[in-house]
Structure 1
């Protein structure tokens, strides 16, 4: 079996001589473009009352007409809206206002009233209180103010809301004692943000990070790795005249701390500390290696131009274990 795989890989690599190059032109626009927010959450709010079966009946305060939901709380993060501290579901008072964040994967039943298990509940909300925002960071750029010991981060959340978080802001991790700073506010980070009307973040609660870093396309056309401009707009490609953006594998992977080389049998080889992460040959959408365990087929093939290999940016981010902000 191993011998057969090598033969197939060798044949695929040989096919690279026939792969059309990514010529720049009207059909191959670079990556510049307007960022379109892709909200990760739907927020509902209202007053609640405990049910005998353990759920919370929420009567929403928005919408025409108002709707009711059954909120299940088992396994749900329940936090105090003012302090950010965990709260036991049994302590939630009947008639109090709560805010619930429903993620893209949150299931809502077709029953009446609909039943849902939110990702986050904020409770103990004072009257006329500006509720903090829970969301995922999709853009993050370091701010250098030119003042010693005073810099920060420009961040944009998935719904398009922008904030500035300076280094004097109160930034704390959720349920750990790890030290976090504004430099940890990378794309892919889930945060609970308290901010004033000007967009200045005063407090940030940071949740565990599930990625090895973040990759995002900014409005000026640069592809940024971990918040730093890495790939010029002219080095990005859209060869199929659609939404797929192709990025150079080596430039992105090396900026993220990986080693990149060429293997005559298996093509582009990306390693982390000497261990293979993935390998892929031009003109194929089938990658090999540990990173492909849950996703072998990619959304587009590996392409080559002037000795530079490209992958669709989302595919590349996934293989590298990184968040892709689009």
Structure 2
């Protein structure tokens, strides 16, 4: 990894100072909150896509259903996305994630909107930046940070999507790298303080993202901190591409991330042994933002804010956490309960620190 100056050194200093003194709180699920609005096709289209195509880029076409493309709401219903950010900030979040989980060409191609990738990332980062700045202005002693989210895409470089053809791939490392590069530039230009490669089920995808990030940094001559968060997919204790938490850590630690952690797929209870592994081996900060338990038969999450917070409080008291938040099924109520539960508990100390050696 190249050695470059920080793009926003004052922001990095604030973040490092906060991490040194307390467990920082990440926000909760964006998708869960959007579902609560019960939006229809017209909401996703807004004025720009109302006539069945992108009025700014009519030649690219989008004349089919857009409902479910939550990232598009950053353009068509920015009021909703801003309201979600505000709700999590009010609940006690120190860091909010951009609405960009599917803002890659691979994922937006499902809606025939790959031409929007840079705009989606830029506008989503800009919305989050505005809400964090407003919250920070109201409470100057508590800085708020924008996490530029880089999702896994809807494709995998390591696994065939065709059970009858194990050697088939529907993407490549270079295709992913080029796709991620557009997203990275949009997020950084939009005002992200940190980038997070998250919900990683395929480490080769993540490596493509990390490579694209380094390319973007080299082109700028400056960098922002990078967080990495993988996904243990089931009780096997492995990612979808077959790695344990420790093996996953070894695969990405060359990028010298600000933090490494786990999110999604599992609830906090099921995630604990894997977070404990990362806390033992990682030389950087450790994060966890699990789901609100496991989904029920209707793919809904029943774990209450109090239940989730109690489990994560135990993580904190065991010295496993530097950053904590929520993923699928979590709401501002969950984040408020988590923030209350970990308040005053010292953060995990990095290996080699005086506190860790004591």
Which TM bucket (shorter chain)?
under 0.3
The structure that is strand-richer by fraction is: 1
Select the structure that is richer in helix: 2
Q: What's the TM-score, normalizing by structure 1?
A: 0.27
Q: Which has the larger radius of gyration?
A: 1
